[in-house]
Amino acid sequence: MKSVLTCITALLLAPLLALKAADAPRPAARPNIIVIFTDDQTYRGIGYNNAEVKTPHLDALAAGGITFERGYVASPICAASRASMMTGRFPQQHGVMGLGSVAFAPYLKGASAADQPLAARIAAAGYTTAFFGKSHLGKPLNYGFAIGREIGGNGDAQVFQEASEFIQTQAKGGQPFFLWLAPHQPHVSLLPDARWLELYPEGSIHLPRNFLVEPAKASINNQGLPGQAMYRDSGHRGSLGGLPAGPPRDAATMLAFTRAYHAVLSHLDDQVGRFSELLRESGLLQNTVVFYLSDNGYHLGSHGLGNKITMHEESVRVPMFAFGAGVKPGQKTRALVSALDVYPTVIELAGADAPPQPVMGKSLLPLFKGSSAPIRDTVFSECVGVGGKAGQGHRMARGERWKLILTDADEEFLFDQQDDPFELTNRRDDLALAPVLKTLRRELADWMKSIGDRPYPAVTDGKR
């Protein structure tokens, strides 16, 4: 099986690596734009970050473009993250903070100029806009998409079929297009076919170094309302390796679930590979920019947790890359990147009108062209959790080396992302790090103020 995967990877890389011998392809003035937006894919859920995950197509596509090694979401929960992608704003700015999407109403048909969502802005610039897959925000035709629909799960076969039919239509010519392709995978339930499970024989998967049977009773791990010690489900009973509603979860149970999760990712990898090949064969890829990322990460037993919602790396960091027209191939950047950066990048690529108020993201185009300059010093994220309200939940300020987390109980956690990437030791009370803590605390406080959040709590010694 290993030799087969090696051959597949070599075949996929051949045309992409050939681009490295020449300059990146030049986009026309108005390139086509595709966003592939997966569901619950943690940053370790891709081969180039984790050799145990078999995703040769995705690895090859990333190698043919630019890989954002440190990509973070605006909020590690489904609807809030998706609303942020469509508005260019953080949850407490657009109002969609948990799972429900009622607060997204101002961005639907008839929205004010200030509240026009991304797809509507791109449509106004003369693009054909299309959506296939999981919305979580209501009917896509109500927030700027002219073609497509929300499509249910079942392994995303219908999602990719309808997206492929759209591509075949666009290949016949016409105006540029903006396609949002939103697979459900690897969201539970996890029901991969045997062929994908066979890629992961016994002993090929290992639990992460920060695996625990159950989490410590600390506010940083809370996935419910402030003050609770609530832990979300990590799997559905219909899933292979389905898990109980909460911990404890022993190693055998977590390994079975992780195997199914990885197998689903291999299936998704195959689908994306075939879709990208269709783009190439249709002649569209030379004038198309493709973004790949996820709505949030996912805990696979790290810290004793399942699901997402916390500010741990497994929850808030996702795989992210881009390839295609105007993207210099073979790049890996450690710039601190936010999923919110897709919004201004797409606006700029399309030549669309930007919203009247400043967007929260930064354009990625300098990085596409090979710039090594950082685009920000600190990246932020927030999550109020399920059923939470404005001002509640967890916050994060992630700098070049250090990450500060402010929990829903106003406790601070400071983690060294260089020497402690699994976030095992809280350095908040290390006196030698007082200047680091002070800087990140000030940056987080300023950011919270800028998005209309509550004031940063008063500083005390020890726990807050």
Q: Which of 93, 12, 11 is nearest to 60 (CA)?
A: 12
Q: How far apart are CA 254 and CA 170, in angstroms?
A: 43
The proportion of the chain whose per-residue pLDDT surpasses 90, expressed as a percent, equals: 78
Q: How far apart are CA 153 and CA 156, in angstroms?
A: 6
Q: Which pLDDT score is estimated for 213?
A: 96
Q: Which pLDDT score is estimated for 4?
A: 42
Q: Which pLDDT score is estimated for 12?
A: 47
pLDDT over 80 at 2, yes or no: no
Q: Which of 376, 440, 5 is nearest to 200 (CA)?
A: 5
211 - beta bridge partners?
302
Answer for the pair 147, 128: CB distance below 8 angstroms, yes or no. yes
Q: Where does the pLDDT of residue 47 fall: very low under 50, low under 70, confident under 90, or very high at 90 and above?
A: very high
Record the tokens describing residue 2, joined without a space. Answer: 């290993």
What DSSP character marks residue 455?
P
Planar angle of CA 289, 45, 18, nearest 5 degrees? 40
Other C-beta atoms lying within 10 Å of the C-beta of residue 409? 16
Supply the DSSP string of 255-322, one letter for each residue: HHHHHHHHHHHHHHHHHHHHHHHHHHHTT-GGGEEEEEEES---EESBTT-EE--SSSHHHHEE--EE
Q: Which of 18, 7, 49, 28 is nearest to 292 (CA)?
A: 49
Backbone angles phi, psi at 178, to 5 degrees: -125, 115
Query: Which tops the pLDDT comparison, 322 or 3?
Result: 322
Average pLDDT of the segment spanning 145-161: 93
Q: Which amino acid is at 2?
A: K
Q: Which of 257, 331, 332, 325 is nearest to 289 (CA)?
A: 325
148 - beta bridge partners?
131
pLDDT over 80 at 93, yes or no: yes
14-28, 33-47, 115-129, 258-272, range with the lowest pLDDT: 14-28
Record the tokens describing residue 27, joined without a space. Answer: 């986009």
Q: Which pLDDT score is estimated for 317?
A: 98
CATH architecture of the region 31-376: 3-Layer(aba) Sandwich (3.40)
318 - beta bridge partners?
71
Average pLDDT of the segment spanning 157-185: 96
Answer for the pair 389, 225: CB distance below 8 angstroms, yes or no. no
Q: Which pLDDT score is estimated for 11?
A: 45
- Helices 78-87, 342-350: inter-axial angle, 10-degree rounding: 30
Measured CA to CA in angstroms, residue 85 lies from 201, 282, 345, 399 at distances of 37, 28, 12, 22
Full 3-state SS string of 44-66? CCCCCCCCCCCCHHHHHHHHCCE
Could you tell me where the beta strands, DSSP code E, fall in 326-461?
331-338, 379-383, 394-398, 402-406, 412-416
Q: Which pLDDT score is estimated for 73?
A: 98
Residue corresponding to tokens 């803590």 = 437
- Domain locations in the chain? 31-376
Contacts for 25 with CB less than 8 Å, ≥ 6 apart: 19, 286, 287, 324, 325, 326
Q: How far apart are CA 227 and CA 245, in angstroms?
A: 19
Average pLDDT of the segment spanning 238-253: 81
Record the tokens describing residue 247, joined without a space. Answer: 């911990």
Answer for the pair 188, 241: CB distance below 8 angstroms, yes or no. no
Question: β-pairing, 32-38 with 288-294?
Answer: parallel
182 - beta bridge partners?
133
Contacts for 175 with CB less than 8 Å, ≥ 6 apart: 126, 127, 128
292 - beta bridge partners?
36, 321
Q: Is residue 409 helix, strand or coil?
A: coil
pLDDT tens-place string over residues 296-349: 999 999 999 999 999 999 999 999 999 999 999 999 999 999 999 999 999 999
Q: Which of 67, 114, 65 is nearest to 332 (CA)?
A: 67
Other C-beta atoms lying within 10 Å of the C-beta of residue 70? 18
pLDDT over 60 at 10, yes or no: no
Q: How far apart are CA 340 and CA 323, in angstroms?
A: 18
| Cis amide linkage into residue 302, ω under 30° from 0 | no
Backbone angles phi, psi at 450, to 5 degrees: -70, -25
pLDDT tens-place string over residues 386-432: 777 888 999 999 999 999 999 999 999 999 999 999 999 999 999 99
pLDDT over 60 at 5, yes or no: no
